Amino acid sequence: MAANESLSTFNLRNREGKNKSAINAVNGNHVKGTSEKLRMSKKSTTSSLSDAFFMSWSTGDAVDLVKYHPIPCVFGLALLFFMGVEYTLFMIPPSSPPFDLGFVLTKPIHHLLSTKPFLNTVFAALNTVFVGMQTSYILWTWLVEGRPRATIATLFMFTCRGILGYSTQLPLPQGFLGSGVDFPVGNVSFFLFFSGHVAGSVIASIDMRRMKRWEMAWGFDALNVLQVVRLLGTRGHYTIDLAVGLGAGILFDSLAGKYEDTKIGKGLKG
């Protein structure tokens, strides 16, 4: 009986010893594997950094960057400059009217138009005629030439303008010089952000260039510049409204083109 108990105890200890050896072996392999992974990861990171694009830059590359890509370089310097301006600028207090550089630059025009209401009315009427020219051309491209891209772009643009204009309603600029013949005709209320006048003109101008109607395009661009100056002079738009209107015209023409591309073969392509 004692011999059997001694044998059983020996077997139990033997199994425990083997189990501990197995556990130690597993733990050892785990530690070894982990160390190997860390070593490989570190080596991979070092390798990837040495292969990084910027590691191959040289002084000649920097010179070529300025030589062949001056515009991005100017934008990079402008980024640094305006970061400094933004962090040191005193904000306009809520009780003060917005600061607008365009209003400052067109102060003489504003004074002239405010003292000569008839001249203001004439310019407003001419601007309304220009808006009519934009509208007529855009509708012509669709209804007569069968090319709907400019019309689609305009619909996109005015829908987005309505949403943004209603979402953030800007105060009417101080010194606004309205006219009953201005567009919208009747001197009624309108959304300030962003300028549909400018965006519509840009959409028409881009379409003219697409069709190689260069003289018409340059003519529209010149009239658009005069329109911008007049809108600033009458305080009909803030500068930011006009700038975003320019970008909106380009953006929505591009979106209309992408929309057309999805409809190729369905009778919509123009």
Catalytic residue among 182, 207, 241, 253: 241
Query: Which member of 182, 197, 207, 253 is catalytic?
Result: 197
Task: Specify whether the CB–CB gap between 195 and 102 falls below 8 A.
Answer: no
User: How far from chain centre, in Å, is Cα 181?
Assistant: 34
Q: Which long-range contacts (CB under 8 A, 24 or more apart) does 174-178 make?
A: 174/97, 174/235, 175/110, 175/114, 175/235, 176/234, 176/235, 176/236, 177/110, 177/113, 177/114, 177/120, 177/233, 177/234, 177/235, 177/236, 178/234, 178/236
Q: Is 197 a catalytic residue?
A: yes
Task: Determine phi and psi for 268, rounding to 5 degrees.
Answer: -105, -25
Task: Pick the catalytic residue from 110, 182, 207, 237.
Answer: 237
Q: Which among 24, 40, 175, 204 is positioned nearest to 109, based on CA atoms?
A: 175
What residues are annotated to the active site? 197, 237, 241
